[in-house]
Amino acid sequence: MHRRGGVGLAAFDRHEQSKRSFAQLSSALSQSQVDHLHSQLNQFRAALARFASTHRESIRSDPTFRHEFQQMCSSIGVDPLAGPRKGGWWAEMLGLGDWQYELGVQIVDVCVSTRERNGGVIEMSELVRLVSKLRGVSGGVITEEDVVRSIKTLQPLGAGYQVVDIGGRKMVRSVVKELDEDQSVVLEIAQLEGGRIVEDILVQRKGWTRERARAALENMVHRDGLCWLDDQDEECGRAYWVPSAMQWDV
């Protein structure tokens, strides 16, 4: 009669022995899996680096290629703009993050320098034209899409840059709650008048031209929603009301 496990004390030893062997085998297996994974990751990195070095220039200079690249990134769930903390090597290798931020700075430059002229609202095509001019020929071609993307990267700064649709036209607005001097004057007088403000008051008290008064008021109605229009005013026919200065709660 032969028992596989054996009998007596020797059986315990054998049992221990086989347990140890299994443990060794299992750790060897996982080690090889980890190694495999590492080598895959290295390959991926190398491929990416190759991709980056080959196409870096195209990505920066060719808007169509850039668009395709962005699409590819979003479809595989990689953010090419991710900062140095998360997946930074990706952004570093391509230099796309810097490229995007650089464009952002140029957008701010154009918006601020034209603010006096346009009151903080600039049409998209005009912005693209001015930014392209600023970048010069070597900067490559940029598109609306690039501008929109860069404006998004500006969001953490809290400067209130925003793409808005005004009557079907894309506009970039760079003043949100920031008031210009004229608006502050209007708000100040409205406060004294219980909310009501008309062109005549601004012309008489502040010596503004009628055009300036009208522009300031119309802007506050249309652009900022800071005023409500009243076209049944007994005195002037057309009056503006500042809700924040009125006695009713909206």
Partner 1 sequence: MSVPASTFLLPSIHSAPPFFTQQPNPSTQAIAVEHWTHLILSYARHRRLFVLRVEDAETTGSDWDEILRNPRINRKLLPPYLSHILSVMVASDAAAYEPPKQTRSVLVHWRSPDEWAQALHSWATATGQLNTILTFYDITDPPIESELTGIPIPLLRKAIAILSKTNRAQMIGVADGEGVRIFAAGR
Answer for the pair 229, 221: CB distance below 8 angstroms, yes or no.
yes
Sheet arrangement for strand 228-233: 196-197, 237-241, 228-233
Distance CA(140)–CA(112), nearest Å, equals: 23
Minimum distance of partner 1 from residue 244's CB (angstroms): 12
Residue among 181 and 249 whose Cβ is closer to partner 1: 249
In the complex, least distance from residue 109 CB atom to partner 1, rounded to whole angstroms: 29
> What is the helix (H) or strand (E) element at residue 232, kind and residue range?
strand 228-233
- Smallest gap from Cβ 75 to partner 1, in A, equals 35
Q: Which residue has the tokens 């299994």?
A: 22
Nearer to partner 1, 96 or 239 (CB): 239
Residue among 141, 159, 142, 162 nearest 151 (CA)? 162
Distance CA 239, CA 227 (A): 10
Residue 183 CB neighbour total at 10 angstroms: 20
Nearer to partner 1, 211 or 249 (CB): 249
Footprint on this chain of partner 1 (rule: CB under 8 A): 196, 221-222, 225, 228-234, 239-241, 246-250
Cβ-based nearer residue to partner 1, 91 or 186: 186
Q: How far is the CB of 227 from partner 1 (least distance, A)?
A: 8
Structural contact between residues 146 and 99, judged by C-beta atoms closer than 8 angstroms: no
Torsion of CA 178, 108, 173, 171, to 10 degrees: 170
Whole-number Å distance between alpha carbons of 95 and 69: 14
Q: In angstroms, what is the C-alpha Rg of the chain? A: 33
Complex with partner 1: residue 62 or 233, whichever CB lies closer:
233
Tell me the closest approach of the beta carbon of residue 222 to partner 1, in angstroms: 6
Report the nearest approach of partner 1 to the CB of residue 217 (Å): 12
Closer residue to partner 1 (CB): 130 or 190: 190
